[in-house]
Each structure stands twice: as C-alpha cells, then as structure tokens.
Amino acid sequence: MIAKMIISTTLWLAGMAVLLFVAAGTIAWPQGWIYLAAMGAAGFAGGFWLARRDPALLAERLGSPFQRDQERSDKIFMSVLILLWVAWFVFMPLDAVRFRLSHVPVWAQAIGALLIALSMYAFYLTFRENSFAAPVVKIQKQRGQTVVTTGPYRHVRHPMYAGAILYFLGTPLLLGSWYGLAIAPLMIVLLAFRIPIEERALREKLDGYEDYARRVRYRLIPGIW
C-alpha cells in the first residue's frame, strides 16, 4: 500500500508539473515550484500518516475516480470536474507566466499559500474523523459505513468540500493568476452541485443520515449554507 501511495503521489505531482511548466513555457517559475513542494509535502505526509492510522481509508483515497458501485451522476460530475481542473491548471500559468496578464503582489501570493495550508488542515481533520471519506459517491457497505458526527462534522456536513473551497481560492493566488481566481467560483459552484448527489445517496442508503442532516443544518459554511 505504501509503495502504491508513493507511486501514485509521484505521478500526480509529475502530471501537475507538466501541466504547469509546459503552459508556462519555462521552469524558472518560483511560484510553480513552491506550489508543487507544498502539494508534495502534503501528499506524502498525508499518505504516510494514513498508511499508519487508517490503511482502509488510504486504499479508498488511492482508488479510481470511476468505480463500479459509484453513483452514475457522480461519474458524470467527476468527468466534468477533471476536464475543468486540467483546463484551469493550463490556463493559470498561461496567464501568470507566459502572457503575464496578471500581476499578483507577493502579499496576495502569501495569502494564497496560507489558504492552501488551511485547506490541507481541513482535509486532515476530515480524514481523522471519517474513515469513509472516499473520493467518489458510494456507500461502503462492505466496510460497515456509519454516519460520522464528530470533529468538523459537528459544524458542517461536508467539511472536506469546505476545505476544497480554500484550495480553489488559494491556488490561483499562490500561482499569481487573477484570472485563475476569477474562474475559482465556477469550480466552487461545480463542487456545490455534487452535494445533492452525495446527500441523496446518503439519505437513501445510510441509516441515520437523515437525522444527522436535521441536526447539522449547514453543508459548507456555518451560519450561511
């Protein structure tokens, strides 16, 4: 499992590097290297931590984005998300480096780095509490999935998505792309569209989720939505 994690994380980083630096047209881009270093540190640290603490969750996280028992609507969602994410990653270096359309000050890039760090912390809190946090929408009957109500789940029903919002905002800031930041709300709205898909499956197939949803009213942001 550890070997698979190392290979998967390395390939993931290599894929991002190709998208970023080929579009940038240069490897002399400090923000790009800082971003990859942050993602690599988070990916490997999180992977080794899960391998020790929760190997079953690590196995789920290393699974394919398209699985046999996955909800059909979620497969469509994942296809759209992957295509948009790739386009976003190509667009940001085109904007920030190749054509230099954006001029993001250093202080704003630092805020971006902080938002990414906070998103990684939100992911950590989610994984610590929820051993069933698979990357796809499905009910893990073989693992005895139950409703999680502890940690960040006491405040919002989808804390990992809340963390993803910070990631979508922080990434273009760190990479220096105002236009990438302008596209981030589209990524966030797309993510919000996934919530009804996931909650429909949870309400229908997971005992106790309906009661939990009545107790915890907010999906992403306490007091707002």
Give the model confidence (pLDDT) of 123-165 as tens digits.
999 999 999 999 998 888 888 999 999 999 999 999 999 999 9
pLDDT tens per residue, range 3-20: 999 999 999 999 999 999
CATH class of the structural domain 65-215:
mainly alpha
Give whole-number Cα distances, 184 to 84, 86, 152, 177, 187, in Å. Answer: 11, 13, 24, 11, 5
Q: Is 172 exposed, middle or buried (0-12, 13-18, 19+ CB in 10 A)?
A: buried
Q: What is the pTM of this model?
A: 0.94
State how far the Cα of 82 lies from the Cα of 160, in Å rounded to an integer. 18
Q: What are the residue ranges spanned by the domains of the chain?
A: 65-215
